Structure 1
Amino acid sequence: MNKRKNPNYKLKIKLLQEVKLKCPFCNYADASKLEHHHIDGNPANTVFKNLISVCPNCHTSIESGEISESLVIKTKNNLSINADYLYKGIYTFDNFRIHKNRVGILKKGMTIKDLYTILPSNQIRKTVAYGEHPGEDMYDSYEIYNSNGEILLAVETSENGNINDLIRLISIKSTKFHTLSDVRLGVSISEIMHNEHLENFQPDLEHIHFKIEWINASCSIDKKQLNDDWWNNEKKRIELRGENLESKIDSITIRW
């Protein structure tokens, strides 16, 4: 039996670009979980034309025969024919600093159209974001990916369908983005409370939200992380202390 070989980094990126960061059979959209199927069955043959990126479920279906070999070959051929975007290059992010009015390569005043002039189109995916009333509040959201398929950010405008509209909202999706004081996803309250003014603590059903005013950010922590003494019933307010200060930020949304 031939020893299995994994594609190198550059080849993995090219394969992910070919399928536009999603499984070509079921449109599964978590690029970080896509696997690489050897079309001819030879695990040592890692040339580009012999590999296709698929989700774990479809990979299992291919190997069991539920997805036929002929369909795999046809899908690969169609991807190759339509893969002109493979030659547009890739953008690898190296700036992850959050400043006032700036997040990495994004700065206040940019439009979605500006975004498409900086990044290859296969590193931007338009999706739908839902507000408080699903089915009624729906917004265009543009997910931004790194060259390896990792989701980094999601941005929204105030007007659906208008790429000339200004970016108004940025959701941080990666722990790589941080302020100089280390505000980032996954950081504990205790790690930032001495360098940041955290204010306007408000609870909802599942989270506690608070503001970091200088970057106009709304952050949240999951209540499941907290002991029961986070609420001072006498003063009718949130008070985080002791072990509750070790709760970690699980969302950061910046508004411009």
Structure 2
Amino acid sequence: MELKGAVVLVTGANRGIGAAFVEQLKARGAAKIYAAARDASSVTADGVEPIALDVTDPVQITAAARIGGDVQILINNAGISTGTSLVAGDEMTIRREMETNFYGPLLMTRAFAPILRGNGGGAILNVVSALSWFTTPGAGAYAASKAAAWMLTDSTRLELASQGTHVVGVHMGLVDTDMAKGVPAPKISPAELAAASLDAIESGAQEVLGDEWATFVKAGLALNPAERYAQIASALTAA
């Protein structure tokens, strides 16, 4: 579908990838942009409609759906990374990561699917991660939540096909945002990732491999775990 003239809601729109989506949507002629963040006052972009939205809060999600009855495209971008391991990490922190990165986009999808149907089908774009396909020590909670978000994307694509809703999954390695600050490895810019993601909405593509790392990791999924993780470890060492 065309972005020009479309009505779009972006979660986590106040900074990083979310802010890049907002700027790209403005440049591509979106008619209205609902810029959602936990603190609406932190949304500083001009020409958008800020919405206070914590994607772990069902009451706020219901309120956002009431406000955004004209939405045609939902971009599930909000997420957190706590660096928590699954075996020794704090259970409540693990649950918080799952609530934000999996249940957040799930509840948003459930709330907005009827709205998208009523507005012609539209599209949903989920910002997932290459960490949906592998993990590293200390990233267990994040990787588990993103693996769940990957399957959420596939499942909702199938479930919403009959109403004409196009569902896109975006996978990438490191993006130059606060979340990846201090990690000494190559990063793509939020603008690059947002541009590739929005291109997919317009072209009808179902999946975005946002950088070389996402392409590399996905290519190894057919390997057995020992081979796959040896390959990933070698690449991480080389980086």
Kindly indicate which of the two structures has a greater share of residues assigned to strand.
1
Structure with greater contact order relative to length (CA < 8 Å, sep ≥ 6): 2
Query: In which range does the TM-score fall when normalised by the shorter chain?
Result: under 0.3
Kindly indicate which of the two structures has a greater share of residues assigned to helix.
2
What TM-score, normalized by structure 2, do the two folds share? 0.24
What TM-score, normalized by structure 1, do the two folds share? 0.23
